[in-house]
Structure 1
């Protein structure tokens, strides 16, 4: 083999190695994950009487390509997402509120909130009987951001409120929740639909349980990433890759067990 042939073969081998090294893996643009980690096979959309509008903080929208809010959107046929912080002057939000065919509510605790777990739900049932489009707004952001969004958005804050009484703790092990009764966006919607089924104002025939299956797959993936040293999400210094719930210390402001919070971060 002459020198020219040898150098050519060496260059071709180097190019082949470089091409393999930087080869892009297949990407799913539906769930914003690599094809090997795709969640789409678990996502089975279903319909609801309620229309859920998720008000997503810009930070949440950019950071979480397929977080609990986006999984909820993918699962719920009758849903939508509006991004922002202060929705007081938001045209899309105000058009929904001002449409006489709609009856809008905010899922958020309050003294006059209709608790679908405990209160008389006849007023909500009557809305459906009157052929109203019942719209439920949910705030999706970190806990501090959600509080700020609610405070700034005068139109959302002024709406009638709907809530529920959580009877279980969040399964979002890898993420810190301020209190035992705090649920993620997806879990809040799931439990709300469950309670509405129990009270006779929804009929989804347990299709909402698929939301939890997708959620569990998402959590499983995040935990695997936390244990992988080759990824930027690797959590050094912990055998689990994340802290156990019982080992975490709550901030003082969340130690008051009577504090009523439903919406997630």
Structure 2
């Protein structure tokens, strides 16, 4: 056949113009005796694992679907959410963003996945960031309390939320100039995270879904929104705990109570951060 070398001898023992039979690859190293010791395992067919069917609405496997805990119809809200999701969050099994998106109309919850967001590649996001009614939920030094922000504009508001670990969110915020254009806001709430199946840095740290639920309740002046959006998260945690998951206390709680069982970091910067957690100093 043109464009293809024909081997001098046929691996299957046939003529040179015949297609060689496909066989499992031989062991990468070792003698023929070692291959024989495998008892013919190399000849066994490989079984491909099939992914469990997932629910099209909540994103969970169909057998553990959480749709009964979602609102029957998407919530009617005027505020639009932009979730900036770190790529590592997309592969997490117990992520909360799909549950959040399932509670809202598609046009009111937009998820963008990535680390870097330039104006050229994301012109729509750039336009949103320059909108005077856009807020970014990021607890920086100059962030205002969301409950104290003037929300009297008749035009709809937009809230940008970064979805990732604290270090991932910090990296995304500081390495994308677009996200430093909107007004920074933060949540000052006594609510402890109900996302107890995942370890948080401090007791006050909230999941993306919880941040969105509280923010929407404030923006829409409707506490019922918070209860509705939190319901699938509560069901998720309850189900996981009933099937062997353990309650994950925050790193702050573990350190203060002498329960932190991992080796202390040797890096001075990380060690200093842990000391600040114990002493209730905002990082």
TM-score over 0.5 (shorter chain):
yes
Q: Is the 8 A contact 2:134 2:158 kept in 1?
A: yes
In 2: Cα distance, 1:204 partner to 1:178 partner: 29
1:157 to 180, 195, 204: 180
Q: Is the 8 A contact 2:117 2:176 kept in 1?
A: yes
What are structure 1's unaligned runs of at least 5 residues?
Answer: 1-21, 228-239, 261-265
Q: Tell me the equivalent position of 1:177.
A: 200
What is the TM-score when the length of structure 1 is the normalising length?
Answer: 0.69
DSSP 3-state at the match of 1:63: coil
Name the stretch that deviates more: 247-256 or 30-39: 247-256
Q: Tell me the equivalent position of 2:165.
A: 142
Q: Tell me the equivalent position of 1:110.
A: 140
1:223 to 241, 245, 248: 241
Q: Tell me the equivalent position of 1:29.
A: 56
In 1: Cα distance, 2:50 partner to 2:141 partner: 57
Q: Is the 8 A contact 1:43 1:210 kept in 2?
A: yes
Structure with more helix by fraction: 1
1:139-191 CA distance string (max 9 Å, x none): 00122211111111111023211222021211222211111211111111222
In 1: Cα distance, 2:101 partner to 2:133 partner: 20
What are structure 2's unaligned runs of at least 5 residues?
Answer: 1-48, 265-269
Q: Tell me the equivalent position of 1:71.
A: 99
In 2: Cα distance, 1:258 partner to 1:23 partner: 48
- Relative contact order, CA 8 A, sep 6+: which one is greater? 1
Alignment pair present for 1:61 and 2:93: no
State which structure, 1 or 2, has the greater radius of gyration over its C-alpha atoms.
2
Q: Is the 8 A contact 1:87 1:156 kept in 2?
A: no
Q: Tell me the equivalent position of 2:281.
A: 258
1:221-240 CA distance string (max 9 Å, x none): 33345x2xxxxxxxxxxxx6
Shift of 1:244: 5.0
Q: Tell me the equivalent position of 2:19.
A: none
Shift of 1:47: 2.2
Shift of 1:107: 0.6
1:51-73 CA distance string (max 9 Å, x none): 11100111111224x62122112
In 2: Cα distance, 1:106 partner to 1:76 partner: 19
Aligned residues: 211
